[in-house]
Amino acid sequence: MTTENNCPRCDNAPESIMHVLRDCEEVAEFWSSIIRPEHWAKFFSLGLHAWVDWNLTKDEIGHTPWKWSIFFGVAVSSITHDNHHPSEYLERVNNRNQVYWEPPLEGVYKLNVDGSHNWATGKSSCGGLIRDSKGKFIKGFYCNLGCSNAIYAEMTALLLGVKLARSMKLTQVIFETDSLFVTTAIIRRSISISYLKPLLEEVLNLLNLTDWKASVSHCFREANCCADFLAHEGHNGPFFVVSFNSISSLLDILLKNDCNGPSFARIEL
């Protein structure tokens, strides 16, 4: 889905080091949310070596309880290796609550979805699963998306999940994704990346149908382990949606962990 040598996050500019670490629209949004306004001009104008040196030697560049040089180093590492929207790095610093999968109310189904992107190969996949109010597995799916990017995989995961729920004629569904970018796009009903607009429009049109109650919520990755597992399974699957009613032994373990309610502290970037 990306143009050769373009940024895999936005596909709108060449994948230079500074674009990946600072100037990509998503990453710039993240930095802007924590950099003090008086430092914006310098932060977004320095060249690579001066930029790194300045951030590692100057304090109070951004709003964070952590020492800035430490926060900056870990954030840069996360941006380089992480598939998710950069704004989630802030959440990992500011939220130290225990996180776990929560079942929906009786009569309501929850469908967790996730996307997966392999930065080494440029290949993406997605997956998800439906559970009832007791945490019982109802149905799952995964799909190999081929060459695309992380954001496309996350949005496609949601679309395929919505389509699956519609095909099953469910009347009350909560969709959960650990992509803050996708959740924000649903709430705002708009997206800046042009090739994602048709996907978003299709999702919104389906969610707005009057014969069911459907909503989209954000969850942390620690509460999305089963969908993450299926998304990774999609890398080895065919280039079409595979849905199934039976589960593997590994997925069964993850499902039981969710039902037993183990929690995970979010204390790291």
Same-domain status, 128 and 228: yes
**How many residues belong to the chain?**
269
pLDDT reported for residue 120: 84
| Three-class SS of the chain | CCCCCECCCCCCCECCHHHHHHHCHHHHHHHHHHECHHHHHHHCCCCHHHHHHHHHHCCCCECCCCCHHHHHHHHHHHHHHCCCCCHHHHHHHHCCCEECCCCCCCCCEEEEEEEEEECCCCEEEEEEEEECCCCCEEEEEEEEEEECCHHHHHHHHHHHHHHHHHHCCCCEEEEEECCHHHHHHHHHCCCCCHHHHHHHHHHHHHHCCCCCEEEEEECCHHHCHHHHHHHHHHHHCCCCCEEECCCCHHHHHHHHHHHHCCCEECCCC
Q: Which of 4-13, 28-37, 57-66 has the lowest mean pLDDT?
A: 4-13
Same-domain status, 218 and 108: yes
- Report yes or no on 40 lying in a domain: yes
Same-domain status, 55 and 105: no
- Report yes or no on 203 lying in a domain: yes
- Report yes or no on 30 lying in a domain: yes
| Token couple for 1 | 């889905």
Rounded distance, CA 62 to CA 225, Å?
32
How many domains, the chain?
Answer: 2
Same-domain status, 193 and 256: yes
The mean pLDDT value for 3-27 works out to 75
CATH code for the domain of 202: 3.30.420.10
Same-domain status, 117 and 202: yes
Same-domain status, 61 and 122: no
* pLDDT band per the 50, 70, 90 thresholds, residue 83: low
Same-domain status, 166 and 235: yes
Same-domain status, 142 and 51: no
- Report yes or no on 171 lying in a domain: yes
Same-domain status, 147 and 208: yes
The mean pLDDT value for 156-184 works out to 95
The mean pLDDT value for 260-264 works out to 57
- Report yes or no on 90 lying in a domain: no
Domain termination residue (choose one: 51, 81, 111): 81
* Tens digit of each residue's pLDDT (9 = 90 or more) over 211-249: 999 999 988 887 898 999 999 999 999 999 999 999 888
Position 206 pLDDT exceeds 70? yes
- Report yes or no on 8 lying in a domain: no
Same-domain status, 192 and 67: no
* Residue, of 74 and 95, whose pLDDT is higher: 74
* pLDDT band per the 50, 70, 90 thresholds, residue 265: very low
Same-domain status, 260 and 199: yes
* Tens digit of each residue's pLDDT (9 = 90 or more) over 34-61: 888 888 889 889 998 889 889 888 878 8
- Report yes or no on 87 lying in a domain: no
pLDDT reported for residue 58: 85
* Tens digit of each residue's pLDDT (9 = 90 or more) over 104-124: 999 999 999 999 998 888 899
Same-domain status, 163 and 256: yes
Mean pLDDT of the chain: 85
Query: Could you give the angle at the alpha carbon of 119 between the alpha carbons of 28 and 121, nearest 5°?
Result: 150
- Report yes or no on 9 lying in a domain: no
Determine the structural domain holding residue 121 and report its residue range. 99-264
